[in-house]
Amino acid sequence: MGRGKLILIEGLDRTGKSTQAGKLAERLGPNSQLIKFPDRSTKIGGLINQYLTDPAFLLPDQAIHLLFSANRWEVAEEIKTHLLKGSNVVLDRYVYSGVAYSAAKGVPGLDLQWCLQSDVGLLKPDLTLFLTNQGSELRQGFGEERYESSAFQQKVREQFSTFFNDFEDQSYKQAHIKVLETSDKSIEQVHDMVWSTTSAFMQEYADIQDFMYF
């Protein structure tokens, strides 16, 4: 039996990532695993949650960046173990959110290159589905957490784009990262796109055995 596939649902805010990650994991069957970042249930995740929800809880930008990264390292072995047992793992946000949100702050020195360093060595997804809503004003109602303003989200969008174009290996990008436009599509319509892209990928890359790393 081959190893499971690591499938990431990434994207801009309020594009339905958590909704789609849940539906994909369900469709992949009971043996699949769903892991969300940030995982707010761990000790490190508790600090991240406090940072996101309490404006009075201040941390240096470098420190919160490293906590988000540490939150991924906390479960890195667990993810690999699931994959080696043949389970597919669906991730809801991951390294790309890590670098894009921190670099979008525009803090001198906290650029994409610096931000990536703490994630170097983490498993790279076999497939990333990047959800965008370029053409839509739908679901622009951001919440109350830190980072949830449209001006900041525009900067995040630019950082994602710079990372994929300038930092990601282009042959990896072409084969392993798929952009899905979700504007004006229902949850079921987006799920159909997610499922058809995932099943086509799984067929084409059924034999992947080696792991890839950031």
CB of 153: closest distance to ligand Z5A in angstroms? Answer: 7
Rounded-to-integer distance, Cα 91 and Cα 82, Å: 12
Q: Which residue has the tokens 């919160």?
A: 64
Residue 15 lies near ligand Z5A (rule: CB under 6 A): yes
Residue 18 lies near ligand Z5A (rule: CB under 6 A): yes
Do 27 and 113 contact (CB within 8 A), yes or no?
no
Q: At what angle do helices 61-73 and 43-53 cross, to 10 degrees?
A: 140
E strands of 59-213, at which residues? Answer: 89-92, 127-132, 177-181
Rounded-to-integer distance, Cα 181 and Cα 94, Å: 19
Rounded-to-integer distance, Cα 125 and Cα 168, Å: 12
Partner from ligand Z5A, Mg ion, none binding residue 176, C-beta < 5-8 Å depending on class = none
* Residue whose CB is nearest to ligand Z5A in the complex, by number: 16
Q: Which stretch binds Mg ion (CB under 5 A): 16-24, 62-70, 71-79, 177-185?
A: 16-24
Do 3 and 84 contact (CB within 8 A), yes or no?
yes
Partner from ligand Z5A, Mg ion, none binding residue 38, C-beta < 5-8 Å depending on class = ligand Z5A
Q: What is the total count of residues that contact Mg ion (CB under 5 A)?
A: 2
User: Which positions from 133 through 162 interact with ligand Z5A, judged by CB under 6 A?
Assistant: 139, 147-148
Find, among 114, 113, 122, the residue nearest to 70 by Cα: 122
Sole binder of ligand Z5A in the list 101, 160, 164, 214 (CB under 6 A): 101
The four Cα atoms 23, 28, 33, 37 give a dihedral, to 10 degrees, of -40
Sole binder of Mg ion in the list 2, 18, 39, 89 (CB under 5 A): 18
Q: What is the total count of residues that contact ligand Z5A (CB under 6 A)?
A: 23
Partner from ligand Z5A, Mg ion, none binding residue 37, C-beta < 5-8 Å depending on class = ligand Z5A
Binding site for Mg ion (CB under 5 A): 17-18
Binding site for ligand Z5A (CB under 6 A): 13-19, 37-38, 52, 68, 93, 97-98, 101, 139, 147-148, 182, 185-187, 190
